[in-house]
């Protein structure tokens, strides 16, 4: 038996939410689009638009999520949007079709969200994944060629060689330099991702945004943006703790090569882990509710 529809929105109500969403997105997207038009780059603020597949125009499009009927003449324009369907009472997301056609994505999201949430968080990585990506840069070159290394190539190598590298996240590990790969205590793969992800990992928590937008339009855009904004803040911390000198961009470093820097990193990491666990739980709740929606 399917769950009843959760709510029905009058045209003025959903259009107001749509406007609020577009304003919220524009604060992040417009500066990126302006930079792109000039051929300029930003090492922190471009990341969510270049690394992830969701483009600004897609993010700007507001979705109410499964179980919400949009009333009024303006809603008819959505009837030809993918995974939307028109009914006598209005237009809504066709959750049954989405789940039927995208069941592998839905199942993967449920598994990795639930398994990650159930594991204890680990706080001993100190952001060294970024350093491992720059290891032996004198041989491999610098991953972000327009940025300088804060400690130089030799200093960066010394930090890596004096540290325990224990990254659990495949999508960070896969960017290691060849010389850094054997230094990692784990060998993450795409196949073992669901068994290694843990809630202390900055990249696993940034990826909540990816989990959310890949379920569009099944989830409401408000929670997608909650994930986006969390990822934005985590990316800022991630790059502050990286080996790159971002002082010219207005960022103070988290000097993880020092005991004080390590302590600051863990303090911020714990805060993001707590936030992410709450958001991970909300995503699972929305997803379970959506799967049971007609």
The string of pLDDT tens digits covering residues 198-216 is 999 999 999 999 999 999 9
How sure is the predictor about 294, in pLDDT bands with cuts at 50, 70 and 90?
A: low
Mean pLDDT of 232-257: 97
| Predicted TM-score (pTM) above 0.85 | yes
Mean pLDDT of 238-242: 97
β partners of residue 92: 85
pLDDT in tens, 151-194: 999 999 999 999 999 999 999 999 999 999 999 999 999 999 99
Q: How far apart are CA 293 and CA 254, in angstroms?
A: 45
Higher per-residue confidence, 292 vs 240: 240
Residues 92-110: tens digit of each pLDDT: 999 999 999 999 999 999 9
pLDDT above 70 for 65: yes
What local confidence, expressed as pLDDT, does residue 4 receive? 52
pLDDT in tens, 264-284: 999 999 999 999 999 999 999
Over its C-alpha atoms, the chain yields an Rg (Å, rounded) of: 21
Q: Cα(106)–Cα(83) distance, rounded to whole angstroms?
A: 14
Residue 2 has pLDDT above 70, yes or no: no
The residues, any chain, with a CB within 8 Å of residue 195's CB and separated by 6 or more, are 115
d(CA 7, CA 163) in angstroms, rounded, equals 53
Percent of the chain residues topping a pLDDT of 70: 97
Percent pLDDT > 90 in the chain is 90
Contact 77, 91 (CB under 8 A): no
Q: What is the pLDDT of residue 1?
A: 36
pLDDT band at residue 20 using 50, 70 and 90 as cut-offs: very high
Average pLDDT of span 68-83: 94
Residue 143 has pLDDT above 80, yes or no: no
Report which of residues 242 and 289 the model is more confident about.
242
The pLDDT assigned to 214 comes to: 96
Task: Please state whether beta strands 90-93 and 84-87 pair in parallel, antiparallel, or not at all (unpaired).
Answer: antiparallel
Mean per-residue pLDDT over the chain, rounded: 94
* 146 pLDDT higher than 90: no
Query: At 131, which helix (H) or strand (E)?
Result: helix 128-133
């Amino acid at each position: 038996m399917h769950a009843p529809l959760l709510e029905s929105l009058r045209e003025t109500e959903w259009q107001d939410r749509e406007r609020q969403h577009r304003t919220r997105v524009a604060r992040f997207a417009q500066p990126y689009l302006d930079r792109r038009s000039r051929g300029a780059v930003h090492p922190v603020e471009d990341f969510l638009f270049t690394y992830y597949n969701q483009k600004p125009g897609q993010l700007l499009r507001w979705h109410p999520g499964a179980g919400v009927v949009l009333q009024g003449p303006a809603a008819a324009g959505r009837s030809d949007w993918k995974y939307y369907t028109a009914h006598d009472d209005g237009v809504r997301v066709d959750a049954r079709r989405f789940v039927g056609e995208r069941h592998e994505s839905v199942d993967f999201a449920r598994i990795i969200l639930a398994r990650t949430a159930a594991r204890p968080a680990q706080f001993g990585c100190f952001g060294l994944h970024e350093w491992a990506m720059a290891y032996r840069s004198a041989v491999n070159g610098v991953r972000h060629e327009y940025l300088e290394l804060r400690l130089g190539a030799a200093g960066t190598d010394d930090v890596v060689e004096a540290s325990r590298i224990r990254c659990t996240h495949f999508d960070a590990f896969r960017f290691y330099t060849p010389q850094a790969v054997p230094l990692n205590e784990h060998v993450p793969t795409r196949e073992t991702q669901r068994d290694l992800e843990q809630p202390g990992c900055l990249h696993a928590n940034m990826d909540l945004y990816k989990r959310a937008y890949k379920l569009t339009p099944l989830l409401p855009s408000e929670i997608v943006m909650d994930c986006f904004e969390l990822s934005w803040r985590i990316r800022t911390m991630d790059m502050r703790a990286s080996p790159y000198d971002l002082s010219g961009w207005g960022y103070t470093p988290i000097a993880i090569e020092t005991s004080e820097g390590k302590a600051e990193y863990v303090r911020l990491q714990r805060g993001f882990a707590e936030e992410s666990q709450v958001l991970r739980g909300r995503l699972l709740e929305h997803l379970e509710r959506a799967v049971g929606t007609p």
